[in-house]
A and B are shown apart, each in its own frame.
Chain A
Amino acid sequence: MLEYKRFFMERSPRFPHPLYGEGFKKLSVRQLSFSLGKKPIFSDLNVEIAKNDICLVIGENGIGKSTFLKLLNKQVSGYSGEIFLDARELKEYSNRELTNKMSYLPQKIVFNTPYTVFELLEMSRYSSKDVSQDVIFEALTIFQIEHLGKKFITQLSGGEMQRVLLASTYIVGGDLMLLDEPFSFLDPGQRQKVFENILFLHEQQKRTFVMVVNSIEEMLMFKNVERLNLYVINNQKFFHFKGFDKDFKKLFEDTFSVNIGKRTNA
């Protein structure tokens, strides 16, 4: 279908939505290569993400952690290789269809427009046809931000903002949640709260997570979580580990030239 035709169709009130009602099952990246300008970011990448996985993406700054999430969210194009989301190639989804499968939390975002928290959450349902506000109240409860509903998003503290954004991401609806540095700029207490929110969604709602994490502390919070997958980016490749085992420790210490010592012992 021509893309502009699809755009106008999707804007029509009679457009059936959700089109692909079933939630996320599996995402597979095959032989993906990608470069920004002349700088190669990934070469020959192979990743499989299944439902209810928790994937942590780890790597040095500027090595392409955020780019990986943006590739999965179709925000960056021009890659070679395949990204298969359930039965179809990622490129075939429109942005609106994509929200059925996945939701995305951008990295340290600064808002200038003075919406209230409630308005922000309401507009996050852009792609949803459901007119009831139940999901908004549900999100307010899960992320414990009921008291913020009428506050302006330009006046929130870092931790409040992060939970509001998580709620907004939750409301979008896709089972696969791509979170770009969800723990940055949070103090330990707030970080713990956000962690518990994520754990709740993982265990109770069987959601799938792909997260960029930046510090050892953030990583180690997840050490007892089930279905944990660790991806270390090094040399344009992904190295996959199922937990904090010896091989992971060695690679991690080589990559970052730090000693994580006995902290990984569960």
Chain B
Amino acid sequence: MLKNIILIIVTILILLFAPFFGERYINIFSFLSDQDSVYILFQYRIPRIILAFLAGAGLSLSGMVFQSIFCNVLATPYTLGVSTAASLGALLAMSLGITFNIWIFDQTVVFAIFFALLSLLFIYLVSRKYAEGRMSDVLLVGVALNFFFSSLIMLVQFRLDYLNAFKFMHWLFGSIRNVSYEVVVFELTVIAVGTILVFWLRKELDLLSLGEEFAHSRGVNVFYVRWLLIVIGSVLIGSIVAFFGPIAFIGLIVPNIARSIFGAVHKRLIFSSVLMGGSLLVVADVLSRALFAPVELPVGIFSSVLGAIFFCVLVMSSRH
């Protein structure tokens, strides 16, 4: 209980103070008297902080879902190649120059979701039909998919002109850009609905993380729950990657830390992952802007460095 309160307080503090830091520090006590500061704060910094929070929350939520349905702490959207697939989809949509809308999803998001879903289905079928639950095989298939989609991304980039190639390269690093309140509304909708649905399935997730057989025998309709979760995971990943690129490893780090602090029961894990993931990406984003100001580092580079180290530690410690 105490831990929950501390987490909520820390999250609120981070969200309150983060907008004041960045390339330029805005004075907390006197910003209202300065017109420029007010403009930067409300037009740029606040939506950016909200987007960073939403992206972090969504990434760690989908990471948690993946870990549970594959019963392995190393199975996340990034390690299984699903984010790379989504990136390829988004890249194709952007470079093909087609435009359409399905409900609130525009062409980039639709392509990203579709590719994420496709790769996830492939991994899932492989894990059921051929790997028979041997998780190492599933992870290897994920690695192969990662290479496959990366090379397709390179192929697309190779065919582009220099200007576009550079633009997309920046996007592929993963960073919180495309800042506007429209995007905020969109991401907020998707991630709020995703979180509610995942919370609705929290008990099923508890049992699924112990294996399909076990969940089945305790009364879970494994077939429907799994498909629902796979679709939810793809939509989350697709709609985050389409705007911010493949921000690596947040989905791996956060659920694992949350699990070790708040326990593995999903009722608590969902909220702690969402809050921690959001806060972590907000902090990382502020640091990536402030550390080398006026140059802005893509936050994806930041999270990759952290994540790669964490990944190694996790692999070594899971041997015991």
Q: Which residues of A contact B (CB under 8 A)?
A: 3-4, 7, 10-11, 73-75, 94-96, 98-99, 103-104, 106, 109, 111-116, 119-120, 123-124, 126-127, 172
Q: List 30 A-B contacts (CB under 8 A).
A: A10-B221, A75-B217, A95-B216, A95-B219, A95-B220, A96-B219, A96-B221, A99-B219, A104-B217, A106-B211, A106-B214, A106-B217, A109-B211, A109-B214, A112-B73, A112-B209, A113-B68, A113-B210, A113-B264, A114-B264, A115-B206, A119-B263, A123-B203, A123-B206, A123-B207, A126-B203, A126-B219, A127-B218, A172-B217, A172-B218
State A116–B219 Cα separation when bound (angstroms): 20
State A72–B58 Cα separation when bound (angstroms): 40
Nearest-neighbour CB distance to chain A for B288, whole angstroms, equals 32
Decide: B217 and A94 in contact? CB cutoff 8 A: no
- What residues of chain B lie closer than 8 Å to A103, measured between beta carbons? 217
State A94–B219 Cα separation when bound (angstroms): 8
Nearest-neighbour CB distance to chain B for A1, whole angstroms, equals 13
- What residues of chain A lie closer than 8 Å to B209, measured between beta carbons? 112-113
User: What 3 pairs between A and B have smallest CB-CB spacing?
Assistant: A127-B219, A104-B217, A96-B219
Of B219, B263, B265, the contact of A98 (CB 8 Å cutoff): B219
Seed contacts A112-B209, A172-B217; 18 additional CB < 8 Å A-B pairs: A10-B221, A74-B216, A75-B213, A94-B221, A95-B216, A95-B219, A95-B220, A98-B219, A106-B214, A111-B210, A111-B211, A112-B71, A112-B72, A113-B209, A114-B263, A115-B263, A126-B203, A127-B219
Of A7, A75, A112, the contact of B221 (CB 8 Å cutoff): A7
Does B103 sit at the interface, judged by CB under 8 A? Answer: no
State A109–B133 Cα separation when bound (angstroms): 12
State A106–B218 Cα separation when bound (angstroms): 11
Does B259 sit at the interface, judged by CB under 8 A? Answer: yes
State A80–B259 Cα separation when bound (angstroms): 44
Of A3, A74, A94, A124, the contact of B218 (CB 8 Å cutoff): A124
- What residues of chain A lie closer than 8 Å to B25, measured between beta carbons? none
State whether A115 and B265 are in contact (beta carbons under 8 Å apart), knowing that A7-B224, A123-B203, A126-B203 are contacts in the complex.
Answer: yes
- What residues of chain B lie closer than 8 Å to A11, measured between beta carbons? 200
